[in-house]
């Protein structure tokens, strides 16, 4: 009898332990930017807080640094090395083409938060069906701030840029560098400081947040800028589909409820905040900002129109998506998103 009672107690204990293990699931996130980058100080802790609250503590988040370089993140999550990550599409040459959609110059100012919301809607409406993210589940889409050109010497015209060794990161910025006759040097943003300080490059295409987070203002004291940016950058936040098997349907639904457009807006909000901080940091160092002149703006508009036309023809034929309709939808959503409230009220004060 005692043996039987012991067996029953042991079985109950094992069941309780099993339930406890299921109840405390960790979502492991791979991150590749430095610890002070906004993705690590704003996005991951905020999303983690949302997830923990939404699942009543059954799912928590663990952020792991330096599991692999930026161009390995897609494969890393697909292979289950991490459960989630953020992907910059320009680092995956050849795989992503539709994701260039929000990267083309607009020559209009708009927040990264609104752009990210518009991009998420466009991804869901047009882009997801093409399956460019096969192997992972996209839970958010993001757009970074206006891409500017930072240089070691003052540049005021497009002609003065010709031949200069400029860091590029793929996507539209790579296409643009070719159109502007630059000598593009492929580098992740984490490599810009070293390359610039050693004279390997004359400048970099990057966003304002890079002035501070990647210490670009310390090596390149000049910026050539355009309203809305020479380009934007396209990102997604992706999760390994097998992660959902480790949690209940209820918790998956709860996580998805605090992802999607809400998480996309959070990503864009982070970029907006980081850009402001980057510009302020550069101004403290005496940085010089120069606006591109009207004649060169017309040249750039012509280049942009050609790039969009070539892109649309290619992806419509090869990816089966009506690219011109998709980009028009994205621009409509930009206006709609701007009329809606910001995600900032949902961000804990300690992460703003």
Q: Give the pLDDT confidence score for residue 23 in this predicted structure.
A: 52
Q: Give the pLDDT confidence score for residue 4 in this predicted structure.
A: 35
The answer on pLDDT for 277 being more than 60 is yes
Residues 6+ apart with CB under 8 A from 183: 163, 164, 165, 166
Angle formed at CA 335 by CA 333 and CA 337, multiple of 5 degrees = 65
Q: Give the pLDDT confidence score for residue 10 in this predicted structure.
A: 40
Angle formed at CA 149 by CA 157 and CA 227, multiple of 5 degrees = 75
Confidence of residue 3 (pLDDT cuts 50, 70, 90): very low
* pTM given for the model: 0.89
Mean pLDDT across 287-316? 96
Q: Give the pLDDT confidence score for residue 121 in this predicted structure.
A: 98
Rounded CA separation 89/232 (Å): 12
Domains 2-145+233-279 and 148-230+287-314 share a fold: yes
pLDDT digits (tens, 9 = 90+) for 143-172: 999 999 999 999 999 999 999 999 998 889
Q: Give the pLDDT confidence score for residue 11 in this predicted structure.
A: 38
Tell me what the pLDDT averaged over the chain comes to. 92
Mean pLDDT across 253-281? 97
Task: Give how far Cα 287 sits from Cα of 111, 157, 223, 284, Å.
Answer: 23, 18, 8, 7
Residues 28, 80: contact at Cβ < 8 Å? no
List the chain domain ranges: 2-145+233-279, 148-230+287-314
The answer on pLDDT for 319 being more than 50 is yes
Q: Give the pLDDT confidence score for residue 133 in this predicted structure.
A: 97
| First CA to last CA distance, the chain | 61
The answer on pLDDT for 2 being more than 50 is no
Rounded CA separation 106/249 (Å): 41
Domain 148-230+287-314 CATH class label: alpha beta
The answer on pLDDT for 130 being more than 70 is yes
The answer on pLDDT for 238 being more than 70 is yes
CATH number attached to the domain at 2-145+233-279: 3.40.190.170
The answer on pLDDT for 298 being more than 60 is yes
Identify which of 105, 89, 86 has the alpha carbon closest to the alpha carbon of residue 97: 89
Confidence of residue 190 (pLDDT cuts 50, 70, 90): confident
Task: Give how far Cα 283 sits from Cα of 110, 244, 277, Å.
Answer: 22, 46, 10
Q: Give the pLDDT confidence score for residue 169 in this predicted structure.
A: 85
pLDDT digits (tens, 9 = 90+) for 47-69: 999 999 999 999 999 999 999 99
Mean pLDDT across 278-307? 96
Mean pLDDT across 208-216? 94
Alpha carbon of residue 41 to chain centroid: 15
Rounded CA separation 174/156 (Å): 21
The residue ranking higher by pLDDT, 12 or 275, is 275
Rounded CA separation 296/308 (Å): 18
Identify which of 245, 231, 197 has the alpha carbon closest to the alpha carbon of residue 303: 231
């Amino acid at each position: 009898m005692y043996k039987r009672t012991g067996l029953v107690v042991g079985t109950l204990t094992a069941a309780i332990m099993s339930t406890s293990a299921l109840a405390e699931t960790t979502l492991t996130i791979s991150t590749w930017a430095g610890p002070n980058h906004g993705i690590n100080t704003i996005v991951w802790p905020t999303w983690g807080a949302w997830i923990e609250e939404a699942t009543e503590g059954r799912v928590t988040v663990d952020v792991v640094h330096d599991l692999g370089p930026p161009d390995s993140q897609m494969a890393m999550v697909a292979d289950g090395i991490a459960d989630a990550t953020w992907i910059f599409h320009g680092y995956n040459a050849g795989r992503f083409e539709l994701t260039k959609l929000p990267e083309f110059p607009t020559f209009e100012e708009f927040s990264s938060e609104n752009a990210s919301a518009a991009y998420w809607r466009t991804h869901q409406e047009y882009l997801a069906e093409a399956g460019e993210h096969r192997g992972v589940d996209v839970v958010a889409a993001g757009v970074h701030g206006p891409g500017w050109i930072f240089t070691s010497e003052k540049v005021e015209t497009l002609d003065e840029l010709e031949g200069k060794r400029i860091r590029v990161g793929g996507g539209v910025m790579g296409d643009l560098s070719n159109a502007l006759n630059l000598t593009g040097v492929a580098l992740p943003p984490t490599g810009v400081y070293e390359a610039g300080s050693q004279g390997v490059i004359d400048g970099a295409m990057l966003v304002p947040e890079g002035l501070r987070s990647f210490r670009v203002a310390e090596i390149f004291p000049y910026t050539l800028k355009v309203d809305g940016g020479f380009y934007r950058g396209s990102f997604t936040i992706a999760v390994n589909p097998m992660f959902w098997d480790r949690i209940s349907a209820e918790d998956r639904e709860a996580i998805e409820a605090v992802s999607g457009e809400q998480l996309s807006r959070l990503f864009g909000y982070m970029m907006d905040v980081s850009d402001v901080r980057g510009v302020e940091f550069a101004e403290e160092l005496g940085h010089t900002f120069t606006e591109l002149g009207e004649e060169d703006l017309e040249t750039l508009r012509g280049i942009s129109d050609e790039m969009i036309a070539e892109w649309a023809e290619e992806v419509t034929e090869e990816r089966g998506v009506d690219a011109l309709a998709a980009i028009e939808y994205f621009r409509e959503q930009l206006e709609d998103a701007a009329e809606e409230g910001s995600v900032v009220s949902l961000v804990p004060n300690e992460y703003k």
